[in-house]
A and B are shown apart, each in its own frame.
Chain A
């Protein structure tokens, strides 16, 4: 016997999928912007701190000035409430990767694996993973891994001698870059689900879990 359909209250959906995706980019931008500010701050301080000649300072500092100008523009747009094109955000994030890789490759004194400024990759990859869906995030994380690994190998800083300890260190750093992308995006997807439930007025996963446990306990008793 066919069941009678149960009348559901007409509750309007307050967010479309497309709208939610646009909002993800808009709201997530602030994280990317702050991650970039941290990279700019670190880079600027390092350049000022470690430069030994005027020539060195004048050659390296303009890169950070350009990045700073770009971030001023992007942050200004964000503060004014003008949503930026998703492509612009992706392009700016790729520019971050290029700049960090340039630091790893060209930093005077220590390059490639010996360069200690690879940690700049971490906040950038993490922030990106909090904004974009899995496929784009995976591509970006892979790009970061590829860029850093290529820089280390091409510069000949990874030695296979001495028990391949260099390779071990490189692998550890690459795994953490991958972890930044994976964990950031994992949390991003959890939050999407929570937001979707909130928009639809459905109970949260935790509420459902508690209700299910209560039912189980009730049946057992």
Chain B
């Protein structure tokens, strides 16, 4: 099941890549994506899969992405004729009997340089089972780690500030020290260049929320001031996790904290409970929106860069175009 999900995800990613990198032809991109995903599933690397996608795209019937240079007014030569006669006037393209191809290996490699596919916007629930390190999570992990250090430092200092009782202080310190050790491990992994696998990060964030909830309950529920730490924890996961997981974690927080608060607050305090829950959800939405928007911007940037690079390799008539404005619409 997980493998199926991964396969579908991979093919979807290749489809998006093919649509942006090879041209906007949907059926051809679908064929290319299927081929690339199959090759990659067999253990091939990105370059091999990209090359396969290009070939599949070009081979599928319909228009070719790299049309023969429009400026080249050549009648179609006889196959097997003199190779010099098959060159375009600028010497960069050669007719191989079926299509225009780059005239030499150097140019060919430049023209067909693999471009990086757009970053995966979300791995969804498959992140739970893949045992991999997602790129988005790698970058978001730094935010989570710092959010957790803030939680730990603040919690530690405030625990010693007029502690209410011995048992409460014991619970607080035990929870905070456990978090500190876990966070130290994750931070060291980041610094050493070994980002933790996704599942560990997901579990650590769940532990953050569990610790905050434990402290809230231990301090009387609604009246506990510690609930503000939910905001830092939700902020971290909202920018790092896939949208689906962000929604699940945030919903869990809202439900659990909502139940705890409502059961420990007067009815006059319900508006305040509502505001807290709404703001926790708002933080999650803002973080997830921003992460998604940035993902799209990066995909656009990669496509523009690839277009600009392709322009450089196109025949002279096409080379004079300006890059598309990366625009403020």
Contact = CB atoms under 8 A, between A and B. Distances in A.
B321 to A, nearest CB: 11
Given A10-B312, A117-B275, A123-B282, A183 B236 contact: yes
A58 B287 CA distance: 34
Given A27-B293, A176-B229, A179-B147, A209 B193 contact: yes
| SS class, residues of chain B in contact with chain A | helix
A164 B283 CA distance: 30
A213 B91 CA distance: 42
A98 to B, nearest CB: 18
Interface residues of A, number: 68
A209 B271 CA distance: 48
B286 A42 contact: no
Contacts of B150: 175, 179, 182-183
| SS class, residues of chain A in contact with chain B | helix
A126 B283 contact: yes
Interface stretch (A62-70, A145-153, A200-208): A200-208
B202 interface: no
A38 B289 contact: no
Interface in B138-161: 138-140, 142-143, 146-147, 150, 154, 158, 161
B162 A11 contact: no
Contacts of B142: 186, 190
Contacts of B290: 28, 31, 130, 187, 191
Given A19-B326, A190-B143, A194-B294, A14 B275 contact: no
Given A50-B271, A194-B298, A199 B305 contact: yes
Contacts of A15: 301, 304, 326
A165 interface: yes
A23 B297 contact: yes
B217 interface: no
B278 A14 contact: no
A34 B289 contact: yes
A204 B193 CA distance: 13
Contacts of B128: none
A164 B162 contact: yes
A127 interface: yes
B279 interface: yes
B272 A12 contact: no
Nearest to A80: B329
Interface in B255-301: 269, 271-272, 274-276, 278-279, 281-283, 285-287, 289-290, 293-294, 297-298, 301
Nearest to A175: B154
Contacts of A116: 269, 272, 275-276
Contacts of A130: 286, 290
B153 to A, nearest CB: 9
B193 A212 contact: yes
Contacts of B193: 209, 212-213
B135 interface: yes
Contacts of B232: 176, 179-180, 183
A31 B286 contact: yes
A165 B224 CA distance: 12
A127 B285 CA distance: 10
A109 B278 CA distance: 21
A200 B323 CA distance: 13
A168 B161 contact: yes
Contacts of B139: 190-191, 194, 205-206
Nearest to A12: B308
A117 B146 contact: no
Interface of A: 9-12, 14-15, 19, 22-23, 26-28, 30-31, 34-35, 38-39, 41-42, 45-46, 49-50, 81, 83, 116-117, 119-120, 122-123, 126-127, 130, 162-165, 168-169, 171-173, 175-176, 179-180, 182-184, 186-187, 190-191, 194-195, 198-201, 203-206, 209, 212-213
22 contacts: A11-B312, A12-B312, A14-B324, A19-B328, A23-B297, A34-B286, A39-B282, A117-B275, A119-B275, A119-B276, A122-B279, A126-B235, A179-B150, A182-B150, A183-B150, A183-B232, A190-B143, A195-B298, A195-B301, A198-B301, A203-B116, A212-B193
Given A27-B294, A201-B305, 4 more contacts: A172-B158, A179-B150, A190-B139, A198-B302
